[in-house]
Amino acid sequence: MIIDCHCDALFKMWSHHIDFDDGVFLDVNYQKWMESPVKVQCFAIYVPEHIPTEAKFSVALHMIDLFFEKIIKPFSNIQFIQTKEDIERLKPNERGAMLTLEGLDCIGAELYKLRILLRLGVKMIGMSWNQANLAVDGIGEPRGSGLSSLGRRVIQLANQQKVWVDLAHISEQGFDEAVELSDYLIVSHANSRSVCAHSRNLTEQQVRKIIDNNGLIGITFVENFVTTNNNATINDLLRHISYFLSAGGEDHLVFGSDFDGTDRFVDNLSSISQYSFLEAALKQRFSASIIQKISYQNFIKHFPD
Ligand SMILES: [Zn+2]
């Protein structure tokens, strides 16, 4: 059993007008999911940069509509996940789908829009994508600013409403500030910068802060987050897991594949159905109790309630 904290299937469904049971194009589609060991999959709302500001909120709502119309409604064995109990209640044949937000661009300066998204079931607020928004700068923004007063109000709201604050993509300054303020911390898709020097990966200090503040780190399968060589293998990915474990992260690791977020993944780990190859490799290397923690127990234990 696996829980995966991040994929961009909704974005691909929205941008390419494809259904969830499309057989080929999606890394996470109905058939591949059912063949996989993944019990719960998080689906991110990601509104791309090129959408005009005034249209962004309606695109976010469109993706939420796709989530319900194309993923939840047609498949009686897929349940909408909003609480820890929703996960624990899943029957053996059932899977869970959870809504997350990747970047606050779509709310502009209006907190009421975020409150609406939370009412619709969003359980994880990604503070930024790579660029700046009105809450905080992303890691790709040269000035690298931290939280605005809006960003601070977002985190207050997240704490009150008991939802995760996701620090994937955030600037280093924003990271340091948000870590201090958030009750429910996650970096949904990033690896270790000590193992692979990518600006989206976490520095040693950031890893320390996530662990010390009882947050979660979602191991991601994007090729250039795993190795600077051309071909990333599952063994390369295991080096990140070993690093995090040696840093004391046993209770703070989860998976955040980023399927459908890029074209280049670790070999034999480019769609949800290939999670079985990762499971087999984990068994060669780590104890059953560590594998269970990373695969699903840490996520359930940290679920805000
Ligand atoms: Zn991302």
Q: How far is the CA of 92 from the centre of ligand 1 (A)?
A: 30
18-74 pLDDT, tens digit per residue, is: 999 976 799 999 999 999 999 999 999 999 999 999 999 999 999 999 999 999 999
Ligand 1 centre and the CA of 191: distance in Å?
Answer: 12
Domains of the chain: 2-302 (3.20.20.140)
How far is ligand 1, taken at its centre, from the CA of residue 36, in Å?
Answer: 22
Pairing between β-strand 122-126 and β-strand 253-255 as defined by DSSP bridges: unpaired
> Can you tell me which residue has the tokens 């990271």?
175
Q: How far apart are alpha carbons 258 and 220 in whole angstroms?
A: 6
**Within 10 A of 281 (CB to CB), how many other CB atoms are there?**
18
Predicted pLDDT of residue 79: 98
CA of 91 relative to ligand 1 center, distance in Å: 30
Query: To 10 degrees, the CA torsion angle through 106, 107, 112, 114?
Result: 60
Could you tell me the distance, in angstroms and rounded to a whole number, from the CA of residue 168 to the centre of ligand 1? 7
- Cα(169) to centroid of ligand 1, in Å? 7
Residue 286: CB atoms within 10 Å? 18
**Are 167 and 185 a contacting pair, CB within 8 Å?**
yes
Structure confidence at residue 23 (pLDDT): 64
Using an 8 Å Cβ cutoff, are 261 and 7 in contact? yes
Of residues 142, 191, 146, 188, the one with CA closest to residue 165:
188
305 — pLDDT class (breaks 50, 70, 90): confident
Helix (DSSP H) and strand (DSSP E) numbers for the chain: 13, 9
pTM over 0.75: yes
Q: How far is the CA of 166 from the centre of ligand 1 (A)?
A: 10
pLDDT confidence of residue 230: 85
Note whether 219 and 256 are within 8 A (CB): yes
| Cα 72 to averaged position of ligand 1 atoms, centre (Å) | 23
Instruction: Measure CA 107 to chain center.
Output: 19
**pLDDT (tens digit, 9 = 90+) per residue, 111-131?**
999 999 999 999 999 999 999
CA of 84 relative to ligand 1 center, distance in Å: 24
pLDDT tens for each residue of 163-199: 999 999 999 999 999 999 999 999 999 999 999 999 9
Q: Ligand 1 center to residue 264 CA distance, Å?
A: 13
